[in-house]
Amino acid sequence: MLAIDGLYHRYAGASAPALDGVQLQAARGQVLGLLGPNGAGKTTLISHLSGALAPQRGQITVDGQPLAAVRARTPTRIGVAPQELAFYPPLTVMENLACFAAACGLRGARRAGRIAACLDFARLQPFADVRAEQLSGGLKRRLNLAIALLPEPELLLLDEPTVGVDPQSRAFVLDAIRALADAGTAVIYASHYMEEIEAIADRVLILDHGRVLRDGPLDALLAEGATVLTLRADGLSAERLQRWGQVEQGPDPWCLRLAAHQRPSAVLVALEAEGVDVRQAEFGRASLEQLFMALTHRALRD
């Protein structure tokens, strides 16, 4: 549905580009997880999709048409729930929804229907008459989401939608987003929380310094780390482990990327024979976090 090709952006006066040849595709019915550490370029990318920035180089198309033309014809095809809360604090939940429904051109019965549907979807009915500024952090996020959904966008952009949200609201927001994708919406979900991306994304794109480091189905990315043996043990050293592969991290836990044809069982048997006390061993799918750290050499939050 959405295709980005060679997108480049350098802010005035910046020494390096914020986006440098970004390539991505988002499909209807799928959640694309966008992962990147601070300053990776996520917000700059989303700003292009929301129309706040125009491409300096590269192309963005929606179903083959240039994004700018699509936005000019049907501005509501793309919905954005920005990182900052975007509503009027002194107005009630209902007044905010009515105001934004009018702003996106909804009229009459359709307007009433969409307001009711979004209120229902975000489970905000009990708070319809509460002023937005009096809502909890989680409810504010849900109002942000409800507003973005008013025009029934085909593509929904979510920039850190669960920041500052309590666990219950977070679970609700994630379920709601998954349900939207299952109903056919294309979703781009930017987050620092890798466990959220692992929970709901079909595809993951890892961005750093404005470049795409990896883009692929979640399962394929996780399988990349399948040759790493993670060990917690007393009496281990990097020198001892190097016989079987490359030591990527340690101690506690040690992460050993096994060389071709090395089996984790052989490592464990040999260590036991040498008197090493292995307390915990893991092998198989890596977490997204391990893959991310291996690719970027840094944590998501600096």
What is the binding site for ligand ATP (CB under 6 A)? 11, 14, 18, 36, 38-44
Question: From the CB of 187, what's the least distance to ligand ATP, in Å?
Answer: 18
Question: From the CB of 78, what's the least distance to ligand ATP, in Å?
Answer: 18
Please provide residue 253's backbone torsions phi and psi, each rounded to the nearest 5 degrees. -90, 160
Residue 82 or 151 with smaller CB distance to ligand ATP: 82
How many helical (H) and strand (E) elements, i.e. helices and strands, does the chain have?
11, 14
Residue 48 or 114 with smaller CB distance to ligand ATP: 48
Question: From the CB of 262, what's the least distance to ligand ATP, in Å?
Answer: 37
Residue 35 or 233 with smaller CB distance to ligand ATP: 35
Question: From the CB of 296, what's the least distance to ligand ATP, in Å?
Answer: 12
CB–CB of 66/60 below 8 Å?
Answer: yes
Residue 42 or 142 with smaller CB distance to ligand ATP: 42
- Over its C-alpha atoms, the chain yields an Rg (Å, rounded) of 23
Question: From the CB of 121, what's the least distance to ligand ATP, in Å?
Answer: 27
Maximum distance among all Cα pairs of the chain, rounded to whole angstroms: 78
**Bridge partners, 216 (sequence order):** 204
Residue 44 or 144 with smaller CB distance to ligand ATP: 44
Question: From the CB of 228, what's the least distance to ligand ATP, in Å?
Answer: 26
Question: From the CB of 14, what's the least distance to ligand ATP, in Å?
Answer: 5
CB–CB of 77/153 below 8 Å?
Answer: yes
Residue 42 or 141 with smaller CB distance to ligand ATP: 42
End-to-end CA distance of the chain: 33
Q: Which two tokens stand for residue 19?
A: 């986006």
Q: Which two tokens stand for residue 152?
A: 């029934």
Buried b (16+ CB within 10 A) or exposed e, 154-175: bbbbbbbbbeebeeebbebbbe
CB–CB of 142/123 below 8 Å?
Answer: yes
Q: How far is the CA of 223 from the CAs of 128, 192, 261, in angstroms?
A: 45, 21, 17
| DSSP helix/strand/coil, 40 | coil
**153 CB neighbour count, 10 Å cutoff:** 21
Residue 42 or 114 with smaller CB distance to ligand ATP: 42
